[in-house]
Structure 1
Amino acid sequence: MTTALYRGFCPDTAELGEYHLGLLMGHRRIALAGHLASCPHCQREVAQLDQFLVDIAPDIELSVVDRIKVWVARLVPQGPDIGLGWAPALAVRGEADNLQLYAADDIEIGIDVQTGTQPGTYALVGLITGLEPGDVQAALARDGRLVAATEVDDLSNFIFDQLQPGHYALALSGGPGDRGARHRGLGVTGHESGRTMDGPALIADLLGMESRRAHAWLAACGPFEHRPAARTGGGTQNLSRSGSRQRHPTLPGVGSADP
């Protein structure tokens, strides 16, 4: 509670991202620089963003020249009305019960981890709303290394199959824009604190942006060990061999990950 009240005076995480990328100018940049000098929470987020940019640099063209804006994905608070609009599309694949929703600006991402088509593996299934269709790619990284990529289809769905247990980072890039493709970096973060319980969920204590390697981009897939999620942060999950299992049909165009 104390941290939440303290952070009520902080700039939002999108503005911190703009500041760090050099997109924030004038009096607002000066004011934010003064705030950073005395705010350990914002200092932590900027440090995480810095590491995030370093980690993704080999794989994704992210530069101030291209005016790439980084949004911080925030976990949508789970309530009785949350996810109702997603249920019809996701229930046919057995996802609605375990759906995790993330939001960044006007974009929402629903993700679910299911049993993979090969024994001992998992599948990450996703659905996006609020992002214009067209040349959008989903990419999955593990330990700082790109292990799978797939196109988001015309219905805004994507799936990664045959994933080994472990930490992964999920990134979306592309989409229509003035120069053909505009990257939207939707960053999430989390660190492995919190109580471990049975069932699928998220790592607790969620902050802002972090590195692509394990805890980063957008919505990472993560444990089948429940860790209570904060209401206003992005988050990651970690695939493990425990937790509920659901079988889903083999789908075409699935990207598989390295072991």
Structure 2
Amino acid sequence: MFDLSGKTALVTGGASGIGLAISQTFAKQGAFVHILELNSELASQVVNQIVADGGQAEAHAVDISKQADVVNVINVIATNHTINILVNNAGIAHIGKADNTSEIDFDRVINVNVKGVYNCLMAAIPHLKTNGGGVILNMASIAATVGIPDRFAYSTAKGAVYSMTLSVARDYLADGIRCNSISPARVHTPFVDGFISKNYPGKEEEMFEKLSKTQPIGRMAKPEEIGALALYLCSDEAGFITGCDYLIDGGFEKLNN
């Protein structure tokens, strides 16, 4: 089950955190993984590790907020591979409320987290249509549907990703393209450790425990757990699923009462 042999997957931000787990999981299950990543050095390291483990992968340096660059990279990939899967994972975080989020920061979050997803959709969908269909998976967040303190720009962007998922799923039914999203709560990644160290120096352990306990299950998710859900939704076994958002939140949305 969940065999991706013979399939080609594009994973944005696929060299770190959740994206890394998705890239590794897909490669382990037989997919040829193309990592679209701003950090080309890190992407190359991940590709080398995947290949050393017997998988297939390539790294592509690209800023997903720049449409021409995204179109060029995806067109190049499509000349040598039949694109089957697109995972829109790349994104950036931001802390702030509506009245203290600068225009520069707001635009930066929207350019990556919203326009970046749009750019990849716009560039990849024609190839999926030509290839007779495929799967798109967008990384949303519980912030799209739950009020999270100090996440105004981030929540705005993830709400857009949630809505884009529904729109794309509806528009391309006849083309055999499925589109779903995943909405994680807190996931333990290097970004989380860096955020805690930067904002709570000297209180790292205390804050990690506090943030972990905001999930009723009592801990943060592991990136590999998000990768496993992504694998299912992009596999043939999920062929009857489209237009859905999947919470993976340790009970955050339904059980925090």
Query: What TM-score, normalized to structure 2?
Result: 0.25
Structure with the bigger percentage of strand: 1
Query: What TM-score, normalized to structure 1?
Result: 0.25
Structure with the bigger percentage of helix: 2
